[in-house]
Structure 1
Amino acid sequence: MLKLIRLEWRKHRFAGNFLGAGIAMIGILLFLIMIGFLDQGTEDFAFLDYQGSFILIDTFARAVFIIFAGVLISKLIISEYRDKTMNVMFTYPIKRHKIIAAKLILVFIFTFAMIMVTDIIMGALLLAVNQYYGFITEPLESKVLWQMVVKYTISSISAAAMSLIPLFFGMRKHSVTATMVASVLLVSIVCSGFSGSNGPTMSINSIIIIPLTLGAVGLWIAALSMVRLETKDLN
Protein backbone atom coordinates (compact mmCIF):
# COMPACT_ATOMS: atom_id res chain seq x y z
CA MET A 1 0.00 0.00 0.00
CA LEU A 2 2.84 2.40 0.82
CA LYS A 3 4.35 1.75 -2.62
CA LEU A 4 1.01 2.56 -4.26
CA ILE A 5 0.74 5.77 -2.26
CA ARG A 6 4.25 6.78 -3.32
CA LEU A 7 3.41 6.01 -6.94
CA GLU A 8 0.28 8.17 -6.75
CA TRP A 9 2.33 10.91 -5.11
CA ARG A 10 4.81 10.95 -7.99
CA LYS A 11 2.25 10.38 -10.73
CA HIS A 12 0.15 13.39 -9.76
CA ARG A 13 3.10 15.47 -8.57
CA PHE A 14 1.30 15.69 -5.28
CA ALA A 15 3.93 17.87 -3.61
CA GLY A 16 2.69 20.74 -5.79
CA ASN A 17 -0.53 20.75 -3.76
CA PHE A 18 1.38 22.11 -0.78
CA LEU A 19 1.96 25.32 -2.71
CA GLY A 20 -1.79 25.62 -3.25
CA ALA A 21 -2.35 24.86 0.43
CA GLY A 22 0.12 27.59 1.39
CA ILE A 23 -1.71 30.11 -0.79
CA ALA A 24 -4.99 29.01 0.80
CA MET A 25 -3.51 29.58 4.29
CA ILE A 26 -2.43 33.09 3.29
CA GLY A 27 -5.95 33.72 2.03
CA ILE A 28 -7.40 32.54 5.35
CA LEU A 29 -4.99 34.77 7.27
CA LEU A 30 -5.87 37.84 5.18
CA PHE A 31 -9.56 37.14 5.61
CA LEU A 32 -9.18 36.81 9.39
CA ILE A 33 -7.22 40.09 9.48
CA MET A 34 -9.97 41.78 7.48
CA ILE A 35 -12.62 40.48 9.88
CA GLY A 36 -10.57 41.74 12.83
CA PHE A 37 -10.32 45.25 11.40
CA LEU A 38 -13.94 45.48 10.28
CA ASP A 39 -15.33 44.18 13.59
CA GLN A 40 -12.98 46.16 15.82
CA GLY A 41 -14.86 48.09 18.47
CA THR A 42 -18.20 46.33 17.90
CA GLU A 43 -20.10 44.43 20.58
CA ASP A 44 -19.89 41.16 18.62
CA PHE A 45 -16.17 41.46 17.90
CA ALA A 46 -15.06 38.18 16.26
CA PHE A 47 -11.96 37.90 18.47
CA LEU A 48 -13.57 38.85 21.76
CA ASP A 49 -12.54 35.60 23.50
CA TYR A 50 -10.35 32.57 22.84
CA GLN A 51 -13.21 30.12 22.34
CA GLY A 52 -14.89 32.20 19.64
CA SER A 53 -11.54 33.01 18.01
CA PHE A 54 -10.43 29.39 17.74
CA ILE A 55 -13.86 28.32 16.47
CA LEU A 56 -13.63 30.97 13.75
CA ILE A 57 -10.13 29.84 12.73
CA ASP A 58 -11.10 26.16 12.69
CA THR A 59 -14.26 26.92 10.69
CA PHE A 60 -12.31 28.67 7.94
CA ALA A 61 -9.67 25.91 7.89
CA ARG A 62 -12.27 23.16 7.54
CA ALA A 63 -14.23 25.06 4.88
CA VAL A 64 -11.19 25.72 2.69
CA PHE A 65 -9.65 22.27 2.90
CA ILE A 66 -12.88 20.28 2.53
CA ILE A 67 -13.30 22.07 -0.80
CA PHE A 68 -9.58 21.47 -1.50
CA ALA A 69 -10.22 17.77 -0.88
CA GLY A 70 -13.03 17.90 -3.45
CA VAL A 71 -10.51 19.23 -5.97
CA LEU A 72 -8.12 16.38 -5.15
CA ILE A 73 -10.87 13.74 -5.46
CA SER A 74 -11.80 15.21 -8.84
CA LYS A 75 -8.19 15.11 -9.99
CA LEU A 76 -7.11 11.74 -8.59
CA ILE A 77 -10.29 9.71 -9.16
CA ILE A 78 -13.19 11.32 -11.04
CA SER A 79 -11.10 12.72 -13.90
CA GLU A 80 -9.33 9.39 -14.36
CA TYR A 81 -12.68 7.61 -14.65
CA ARG A 82 -13.95 10.24 -17.09
CA ASP A 83 -10.81 10.08 -19.23
CA LYS A 84 -10.78 6.24 -19.13
CA THR A 85 -7.26 6.17 -17.68
CA MET A 86 -8.61 4.36 -14.62
CA ASN A 87 -9.50 1.34 -16.79
CA VAL A 88 -5.87 1.16 -17.90
CA MET A 89 -4.73 1.20 -14.27
CA PHE A 90 -7.11 -1.66 -13.51
CA THR A 91 -5.25 -3.85 -16.01
CA TYR A 92 -2.21 -3.80 -13.72
CA PRO A 93 -1.63 -6.88 -11.53
CA ILE A 94 -2.85 -4.93 -8.48
CA LYS A 95 -6.16 -5.32 -6.71
CA ARG A 96 -8.48 -2.56 -7.85
CA HIS A 97 -9.64 -1.54 -4.40
CA LYS A 98 -6.01 -0.96 -3.37
CA ILE A 99 -5.57 1.57 -6.19
CA ILE A 100 -8.59 3.57 -5.04
CA ALA A 101 -7.62 3.15 -1.38
CA ALA A 102 -4.16 4.64 -2.06
CA LYS A 103 -5.75 7.71 -3.66
CA LEU A 104 -8.28 8.19 -0.83
CA ILE A 105 -5.63 7.76 1.85
CA LEU A 106 -3.62 10.53 0.20
CA VAL A 107 -6.66 12.83 0.21
CA PHE A 108 -7.51 11.97 3.82
CA ILE A 109 -4.00 12.49 5.21
CA PHE A 110 -3.45 15.70 3.25
CA THR A 111 -6.78 17.18 4.38
CA PHE A 112 -6.24 16.25 8.02
CA ALA A 113 -2.68 17.58 8.04
CA MET A 114 -3.55 20.89 6.37
CA ILE A 115 -6.47 21.60 8.71
CA MET A 116 -4.31 20.86 11.75
CA VAL A 117 -1.37 22.90 10.47
CA THR A 118 -3.68 25.83 9.66
CA ASP A 119 -5.29 25.69 13.10
CA ILE A 120 -1.89 25.61 14.81
CA ILE A 121 -0.32 28.38 12.73
CA MET A 122 -3.32 30.71 12.91
CA GLY A 123 -3.76 29.99 16.61
CA ALA A 124 -0.10 30.76 17.30
CA LEU A 125 -0.35 34.01 15.31
CA LEU A 126 -3.47 34.96 17.26
CA LEU A 127 -1.68 34.43 20.58
CA ALA A 128 1.38 36.36 19.38
CA VAL A 129 -0.64 39.34 18.12
CA ASN A 130 -2.74 39.36 21.28
CA GLN A 131 0.44 39.79 23.34
CA TYR A 132 0.94 43.19 21.68
CA TYR A 133 -2.64 44.45 21.28
CA GLY A 134 -4.47 42.69 24.12
CA PHE A 135 -7.87 42.52 22.40
CA ILE A 136 -8.55 39.25 24.28
CA THR A 137 -8.35 40.00 27.98
CA GLU A 138 -9.24 36.61 29.43
CA PRO A 139 -6.31 34.43 30.59
CA LEU A 140 -5.53 31.29 28.60
CA GLU A 141 -4.75 28.40 30.93
CA SER A 142 -2.59 25.56 29.66
CA LYS A 143 -5.31 23.05 30.54
CA VAL A 144 -7.82 24.87 28.35
CA LEU A 145 -5.27 25.12 25.53
CA TRP A 146 -4.61 21.39 25.56
CA GLN A 147 -8.35 20.69 25.60
CA MET A 148 -8.68 22.81 22.46
CA VAL A 149 -5.81 20.93 20.81
CA VAL A 150 -7.52 17.58 21.50
CA LYS A 151 -10.88 18.93 20.38
CA TYR A 152 -9.61 20.25 17.09
CA THR A 153 -7.54 17.14 16.42
CA ILE A 154 -10.79 15.18 16.56
CA SER A 155 -12.46 17.88 14.46
CA SER A 156 -9.72 17.66 11.82
CA ILE A 157 -10.00 13.86 11.62
CA SER A 158 -13.77 14.02 11.20
CA ALA A 159 -13.44 16.81 8.60
CA ALA A 160 -10.91 14.75 6.62
CA ALA A 161 -13.28 11.78 6.71
CA MET A 162 -16.37 13.76 5.73
CA SER A 163 -14.43 15.37 2.86
CA LEU A 164 -14.77 11.99 1.11
CA ILE A 165 -18.57 12.35 0.92
CA PRO A 166 -18.49 14.23 -2.44
CA LEU A 167 -16.96 11.09 -3.96
CA PHE A 168 -20.42 9.50 -3.87
CA PHE A 169 -21.96 12.26 -5.99
CA GLY A 170 -19.01 12.52 -8.35
CA MET A 171 -19.05 8.79 -9.05
CA ARG A 172 -22.70 8.82 -10.13
CA LYS A 173 -21.84 10.09 -13.61
CA HIS A 174 -18.11 10.61 -13.14
CA SER A 175 -18.76 14.35 -12.90
CA VAL A 176 -16.17 16.80 -11.62
CA THR A 177 -18.89 19.46 -11.37
CA ALA A 178 -21.05 17.27 -9.14
CA THR A 179 -18.06 16.56 -6.92
CA MET A 180 -17.27 20.24 -6.44
CA VAL A 181 -20.90 21.25 -5.90
CA ALA A 182 -21.22 18.51 -3.26
CA SER A 183 -18.08 19.82 -1.53
CA VAL A 184 -19.44 23.37 -1.42
CA LEU A 185 -22.82 22.19 -0.11
CA LEU A 186 -21.08 20.08 2.53
CA VAL A 187 -19.09 23.11 3.67
CA SER A 188 -22.25 25.23 3.83
CA ILE A 189 -23.72 22.68 6.24
CA VAL A 190 -20.83 21.75 8.52
CA CYS A 191 -19.26 25.20 8.67
CA SER A 192 -22.42 27.12 9.46
CA GLY A 193 -22.85 28.50 12.95
CA PHE A 194 -24.75 30.76 15.25
CA SER A 195 -23.79 33.53 17.62
CA GLY A 196 -23.90 33.65 21.36
CA SER A 197 -24.44 36.78 23.41
CA ASN A 198 -20.87 37.95 22.85
CA GLY A 199 -20.18 36.98 19.26
CA PRO A 200 -19.59 33.79 17.28
CA THR A 201 -19.22 31.24 20.05
CA MET A 202 -20.96 28.18 18.55
CA SER A 203 -20.84 26.26 15.30
CA ILE A 204 -22.60 23.22 13.90
CA ASN A 205 -19.28 21.40 14.27
CA SER A 206 -19.45 21.99 18.04
CA ILE A 207 -22.33 19.51 18.21
CA ILE A 208 -19.95 16.57 18.25
CA ILE A 209 -22.43 13.98 16.96
CA ILE A 210 -22.78 15.85 13.64
CA PRO A 211 -19.11 15.81 12.49
CA LEU A 212 -18.63 12.28 13.83
CA THR A 213 -21.68 11.04 11.92
CA LEU A 214 -20.67 12.80 8.72
CA GLY A 215 -17.13 11.47 9.14
CA ALA A 216 -18.50 7.93 9.44
CA VAL A 217 -20.60 8.52 6.32
CA GLY A 218 -17.49 9.66 4.45
CA LEU A 219 -15.58 6.51 5.41
CA TRP A 220 -18.58 4.37 4.48
CA ILE A 221 -18.74 6.01 1.04
CA ALA A 222 -15.02 5.38 0.56
CA ALA A 223 -15.50 1.70 1.43
CA LEU A 224 -18.59 1.46 -0.80
CA SER A 225 -16.74 2.92 -3.78
CA MET A 226 -14.14 0.17 -3.51
CA VAL A 227 -16.77 -2.57 -3.22
CA ARG A 228 -18.53 -1.34 -6.38
CA LEU A 229 -15.35 -1.50 -8.47
CA GLU A 230 -16.10 -5.00 -9.64
CA THR A 231 -19.57 -4.11 -10.94
CA LYS A 232 -21.28 -0.86 -11.81
CA ASP A 233 -18.33 1.59 -11.86
CA LEU A 234 -16.52 -0.37 -14.56
CA ASN A 235 -19.51 -0.63 -16.90
Structure 2
Amino acid sequence: MIKLINLELERNKIRSYIVASFLILIFGFGFCFLTAYIPQIEQSQQMIQIRGGVSLPTDLSMFSQWNNFISLISIVFVAAFGVLSAIMHAKFTVEEYTGKRAILLFSYPIKRSKILFAKCSFVFFFTAIAVAICNIVAISIFAFFSNTFHILPNMFTGEMWPNLLVTTGVSALLAASIGLIAMRIGFWRKSLVATVVTSFLLIIPFGNMMSFIPENSLQIRLIGMVVLLVLGLAVFMELLSKVNKMEAL
Protein backbone atom coordinates (compact mmCIF):
# COMPACT_ATOMS: atom_id res chain seq x y z
CA MET A 1 0.00 0.00 0.00
CA ILE A 2 2.87 2.39 0.82
CA LYS A 3 4.37 1.69 -2.61
CA LEU A 4 1.06 2.51 -4.28
CA ILE A 5 0.79 5.78 -2.36
CA ASN A 6 4.37 6.68 -3.34
CA LEU A 7 3.45 5.92 -6.95
CA GLU A 8 0.52 8.32 -6.68
CA LEU A 9 2.82 11.01 -5.30
CA GLU A 10 5.11 10.55 -8.30
CA ARG A 11 2.25 10.67 -10.80
CA ASN A 12 0.44 13.61 -9.19
CA LYS A 13 2.36 16.69 -8.17
CA ILE A 14 1.52 17.27 -4.51
CA ARG A 15 3.53 20.46 -4.16
CA SER A 16 0.63 22.61 -5.39
CA TYR A 17 -1.66 21.18 -2.72
CA ILE A 18 0.90 21.83 -0.01
CA VAL A 19 1.18 25.43 -1.22
CA ALA A 20 -2.63 25.69 -1.21
CA SER A 21 -2.68 24.39 2.37
CA PHE A 22 -0.12 26.99 3.40
CA LEU A 23 -2.19 29.75 1.79
CA ILE A 24 -5.27 28.50 3.66
CA LEU A 25 -3.26 28.65 6.88
CA ILE A 26 -2.33 32.28 6.21
CA PHE A 27 -5.95 33.13 5.39
CA GLY A 28 -7.14 31.39 8.56
CA PHE A 29 -4.61 33.26 10.66
CA GLY A 30 -5.77 36.55 9.16
CA PHE A 31 -9.37 35.56 9.78
CA CYS A 32 -8.50 35.16 13.47
CA PHE A 33 -7.67 38.86 13.71
CA LEU A 34 -10.75 39.80 11.66
CA THR A 35 -13.01 37.79 13.97
CA ALA A 36 -11.37 39.25 17.06
CA TYR A 37 -12.09 42.75 15.76
CA ILE A 38 -15.87 42.12 15.60
CA PRO A 39 -16.49 42.83 19.35
CA GLN A 40 -14.73 46.17 18.93
CA ILE A 41 -17.12 47.02 16.09
CA GLU A 42 -19.99 46.15 18.41
CA GLN A 43 -18.68 48.50 21.11
CA SER A 44 -18.48 51.36 18.60
CA GLN A 45 -22.00 50.67 17.36
CA GLN A 46 -23.33 50.49 20.90
CA MET A 47 -21.87 53.92 21.70
CA ILE A 48 -23.51 55.39 18.59
CA GLN A 49 -26.85 53.67 19.09
CA ILE A 50 -27.03 54.41 22.80
CA ARG A 51 -26.78 58.09 21.94
CA GLY A 52 -29.68 57.65 19.54
CA GLY A 53 -31.73 55.63 22.02
CA VAL A 54 -31.58 52.42 19.94
CA SER A 55 -30.45 49.03 21.26
CA LEU A 56 -28.48 46.48 19.27
CA PRO A 57 -30.50 43.43 18.12
CA THR A 58 -27.56 41.04 18.41
CA ASP A 59 -24.78 40.37 20.85
CA LEU A 60 -21.53 40.25 18.94
CA SER A 61 -19.55 39.91 22.15
CA MET A 62 -19.90 36.13 21.84
CA PHE A 63 -16.99 36.27 19.38
CA SER A 64 -14.73 37.36 22.23
CA GLN A 65 -15.29 34.07 24.07
CA TRP A 66 -12.58 31.54 23.30
CA ASN A 67 -14.86 28.51 22.83
CA ASN A 68 -16.98 30.35 20.25
CA PHE A 69 -13.88 31.85 18.68
CA ILE A 70 -12.29 28.41 18.24
CA SER A 71 -15.51 27.07 16.69
CA LEU A 72 -15.72 29.88 14.15
CA ILE A 73 -12.09 29.59 13.10
CA SER A 74 -12.35 25.81 12.85
CA ILE A 75 -15.34 25.94 10.50
CA VAL A 76 -13.33 28.19 8.18
CA PHE A 77 -10.71 25.46 7.88
CA VAL A 78 -13.39 22.78 7.44
CA ALA A 79 -14.88 24.73 4.54
CA ALA A 80 -11.54 25.48 2.87
CA PHE A 81 -10.11 21.98 3.19
CA GLY A 82 -13.43 20.33 2.35
CA VAL A 83 -13.25 22.02 -1.04
CA LEU A 84 -9.53 21.31 -1.42
CA SER A 85 -10.18 17.65 -0.60
CA ALA A 86 -12.84 17.49 -3.31
CA ILE A 87 -10.43 19.06 -5.80
CA MET A 88 -7.76 16.51 -4.91
CA HIS A 89 -10.21 13.61 -5.23
CA ALA A 90 -11.33 15.00 -8.59
CA LYS A 91 -7.72 15.11 -9.78
CA PHE A 92 -6.39 11.94 -8.14
CA THR A 93 -9.41 9.71 -8.63
CA VAL A 94 -12.35 10.89 -10.76
CA GLU A 95 -10.16 12.22 -13.58
CA GLU A 96 -8.03 9.08 -13.53
CA TYR A 97 -11.05 6.85 -14.12
CA THR A 98 -12.35 8.70 -17.19
CA GLY A 99 -11.48 8.19 -20.84
CA LYS A 100 -8.07 7.00 -21.97
CA ARG A 101 -6.57 7.40 -18.50
CA ALA A 102 -8.91 4.72 -17.19
CA ILE A 103 -7.78 2.32 -19.93
CA LEU A 104 -4.17 2.85 -18.85
CA LEU A 105 -5.05 2.54 -15.17
CA PHE A 106 -6.97 -0.70 -15.71
CA SER A 107 -4.00 -2.19 -17.54
CA TYR A 108 -1.86 -2.18 -14.40
CA PRO A 109 -1.11 -5.66 -12.99
CA ILE A 110 -2.55 -4.56 -9.65
CA LYS A 111 -6.03 -5.09 -8.28
CA ARG A 112 -8.08 -2.01 -9.11
CA SER A 113 -9.58 -1.74 -5.64
CA LYS A 114 -6.09 -1.48 -4.15
CA ILE A 115 -5.22 1.44 -6.43
CA LEU A 116 -8.47 3.21 -5.57
CA PHE A 117 -7.95 2.54 -1.87
CA ALA A 118 -4.45 4.03 -2.02
CA LYS A 119 -5.67 7.14 -3.84
CA CYS A 120 -8.58 7.85 -1.51
CA SER A 121 -6.63 6.99 1.65
CA PHE A 122 -3.91 9.46 0.76
CA VAL A 123 -6.35 12.31 0.08
CA PHE A 124 -8.39 11.50 3.20
CA PHE A 125 -5.40 11.55 5.55
CA PHE A 126 -3.75 14.50 3.80
CA THR A 127 -6.94 16.52 4.37
CA ALA A 128 -7.34 15.44 8.00
CA ILE A 129 -3.71 16.14 8.88
CA ALA A 130 -3.71 19.50 7.06
CA VAL A 131 -6.85 20.65 8.90
CA ALA A 132 -5.39 19.58 12.25
CA ILE A 133 -2.05 21.33 11.70
CA CYS A 134 -3.53 24.54 10.30
CA ASN A 135 -6.23 24.85 12.96
CA ILE A 136 -3.86 24.29 15.89
CA VAL A 137 -1.07 26.45 14.46
CA ALA A 138 -3.31 29.39 13.52
CA ILE A 139 -5.21 29.49 16.82
CA SER A 140 -2.09 28.87 18.92
CA ILE A 141 -0.14 31.71 17.28
CA PHE A 142 -3.13 34.03 17.53
CA ALA A 143 -3.56 33.06 21.19
CA PHE A 144 0.04 34.11 21.83
CA PHE A 145 -0.57 37.51 20.23
CA SER A 146 -3.89 37.86 22.04
CA ASN A 147 -2.36 37.12 25.43
CA THR A 148 0.54 39.46 24.73
CA PHE A 149 -1.38 42.41 23.30
CA HIS A 150 -4.77 41.75 24.96
CA ILE A 151 -6.65 41.41 21.68
CA LEU A 152 -9.41 39.32 23.29
CA PRO A 153 -10.56 40.26 26.80
CA ASN A 154 -9.94 36.77 28.20
CA MET A 155 -6.59 35.01 28.34
CA PHE A 156 -6.04 31.76 26.47
CA THR A 157 -5.12 29.27 29.21
CA GLY A 158 -4.19 25.60 29.40
CA GLU A 159 -7.78 24.74 30.31
CA MET A 160 -8.81 25.65 26.76
CA TRP A 161 -6.49 23.14 25.09
CA PRO A 162 -8.84 20.13 25.45
CA ASN A 163 -11.62 22.01 23.65
CA LEU A 164 -9.21 23.10 20.92
CA LEU A 165 -7.89 19.56 20.41
CA VAL A 166 -11.34 17.95 20.36
CA THR A 167 -12.74 20.60 18.01
CA THR A 168 -9.70 20.17 15.75
CA GLY A 169 -10.04 16.38 15.61
CA VAL A 170 -13.75 16.53 14.79
CA SER A 171 -13.17 19.25 12.18
CA ALA A 172 -10.37 17.24 10.54
CA LEU A 173 -12.55 14.15 10.10
CA LEU A 174 -15.50 16.26 8.97
CA ALA A 175 -13.51 17.93 6.18
CA ALA A 176 -12.02 14.60 5.06
CA SER A 177 -15.48 12.96 5.03
CA ILE A 178 -16.90 15.78 2.91
CA GLY A 179 -14.21 15.14 0.31
CA LEU A 180 -14.88 11.39 0.32
CA ILE A 181 -18.63 11.81 -0.31
CA ALA A 182 -17.97 14.45 -2.97
CA MET A 183 -15.64 12.00 -4.73
CA ARG A 184 -18.37 9.34 -4.90
CA ILE A 185 -20.85 11.82 -6.37
CA GLY A 186 -18.21 12.82 -8.91
CA PHE A 187 -17.80 9.16 -9.86
CA TRP A 188 -21.54 8.74 -10.23
CA ARG A 189 -21.93 11.88 -12.35
CA LYS A 190 -18.64 11.25 -14.17
CA SER A 191 -17.84 14.91 -13.58
CA LEU A 192 -15.04 16.86 -11.94
CA VAL A 193 -17.33 19.85 -11.49
CA ALA A 194 -19.94 17.74 -9.69
CA THR A 195 -17.25 16.64 -7.22
CA VAL A 196 -16.38 20.21 -6.24
CA VAL A 197 -19.99 21.45 -6.24
CA THR A 198 -21.01 18.61 -3.92
CA SER A 199 -18.39 19.67 -1.40
CA PHE A 200 -19.89 23.17 -1.36
CA LEU A 201 -23.40 21.78 -0.88
CA LEU A 202 -22.24 19.63 2.04
CA ILE A 203 -20.39 22.49 3.73
CA ILE A 204 -23.11 25.17 3.53
CA PRO A 205 -25.67 23.73 6.00
CA PHE A 206 -23.06 22.88 8.63
CA GLY A 207 -21.39 26.25 8.24
CA ASN A 208 -24.68 28.07 8.69
CA MET A 209 -25.72 26.08 11.74
CA MET A 210 -22.35 26.44 13.43
CA SER A 211 -22.19 30.17 12.68
CA PHE A 212 -25.67 30.92 14.01
CA ILE A 213 -25.41 28.60 17.03
CA PRO A 214 -21.71 28.80 18.03
CA GLU A 215 -22.44 27.68 21.61
CA ASN A 216 -23.60 24.29 20.23
CA SER A 217 -21.05 24.19 17.43
CA LEU A 218 -19.07 21.24 18.77
CA GLN A 219 -22.18 19.09 19.19
CA ILE A 220 -23.42 19.96 15.69
CA ARG A 221 -19.98 19.30 14.25
CA LEU A 222 -19.66 15.98 16.09
CA ILE A 223 -23.05 14.76 14.85
CA GLY A 224 -22.26 15.94 11.33
CA MET A 225 -18.84 14.28 11.42
CA VAL A 226 -20.27 10.93 12.54
CA VAL A 227 -23.05 11.01 9.93
CA LEU A 228 -20.78 12.06 7.05
CA LEU A 229 -17.95 9.74 8.09
CA VAL A 230 -20.27 6.72 8.21
CA LEU A 231 -21.90 7.73 4.94
CA GLY A 232 -18.52 8.41 3.34
CA LEU A 233 -17.10 5.05 4.37
CA ALA A 234 -20.27 3.31 3.18
CA VAL A 235 -20.19 4.81 -0.31
CA PHE A 236 -16.43 4.28 -0.47
CA MET A 237 -16.75 0.57 0.34
CA GLU A 238 -19.55 0.32 -2.21
CA LEU A 239 -17.28 1.88 -4.84
CA LEU A 240 -14.42 -0.46 -3.93
CA SER A 241 -16.68 -3.45 -4.56
CA LYS A 242 -17.62 -2.11 -8.01
CA VAL A 243 -14.31 -0.83 -9.31
CA ASN A 244 -12.90 -4.29 -10.09
CA LYS A 245 -15.78 -4.85 -12.53
CA MET A 246 -15.80 -1.30 -13.87
CA GLU A 247 -15.18 -0.53 -17.52
CA ALA A 248 -13.59 2.72 -18.72
CA LEU A 249 -16.08 5.50 -18.05
Whether these two folds match at TM > 0.5 is yes
Per the alignment, in what secondary structure is the counterpart of residue 84 of structure 1? helix
What runs of 5+ residues in structure 2 fail to find an aligned partner?
43-58
**Aligned mates of 2:149, 2:192 — CA distance in 1:** 45
Alignment counterpart, residue 109 of structure 1, candidates 117, 125, 132: 125
> TM-score, normalization: structure 2?
0.84
**Aligned mates of 2:129, 2:181 — CA distance in 1:** 18
> TM-score, normalization: structure 1?
0.88
The answer to whether the 8 A contact 1:194-1:202 is kept is no
Partner of 1:126: 142
Partner of 2:19: 19
Q: Which moved more, 1:67-76 or 1:162-171?
A: 162-171
The answer to whether the 8 A contact 1:169-1:182 is kept is yes
Partner of 1:89: 105
Query: In the superposition, relative to structure 1, how do residues 110 and 132 fare at CA in structure 2: closer, same or farther (>3 Å)?
Result: same
Query: In the superposition, relative to structure 1, how do residues 207 and 29 fare at CA in structure 2: closer, same or farther (>3 Å)?
Result: closer
Percentage of pairs with the same residue: 23
- Shift of residue 9, structure 1, vs aligned partner: 0.7
Which structure features the higher share of helix residues? Answer: 2
Pairing of 1:115-194 with structure 2 (within 5 A)? 115-192=131-208, 193-194=210-211
The answer to whether the 8 A contact 1:162-1:217 is kept is no
Partner of 2:227: 213
What runs of 5+ residues in structure 1 fail to find an aligned partner?
none
Partner of 1:29: 29
The superposition leaves residues 24-46 of structure 1 with CA deviations (integer Å, 9 ceiling, x where unpaired) of 22222233333433552414046
The answer to whether the 8 A contact 2:113-2:243 is kept is yes
Partner of 1:229: 243
Alignment counterpart, residue 68 of structure 1, candidates 69, 76, 84: 84
Partner of 1:56: 72
The answer to whether the 8 A contact 2:86-2:199 is kept is yes
Query: In the superposition, relative to structure 1, how do residues 131 and 78 fare at CA in structure 2: closer, same or farther (>3 Å)?
Result: same
The superposition leaves residues 49-83 of structure 1 with CA deviations (integer Å, 9 ceiling, x where unpaired) of 11011101110010000000010011011112234
The answer to whether the 8 A contact 2:132-2:169 is kept is yes
**Aligned mates of 2:15, 2:182 — CA distance in 1:** 23
Q: Which has the larger radius of gyration?
A: 2
Q: Which moved more, 1:9-18 or 1:200-209?
A: 200-209
The superposition leaves residues 197-228 of structure 1 with CA deviations (integer Å, 9 ceiling, x where unpaired) of xxx43337635222111111111122111111
Per the alignment, in what secondary structure is the counterpart of residue 215 of structure 2? strand
Q: Which moved more, 1:111-120 or 1:42-51?
A: 42-51
- Shift of residue 194, structure 1, vs aligned partner: 4.4
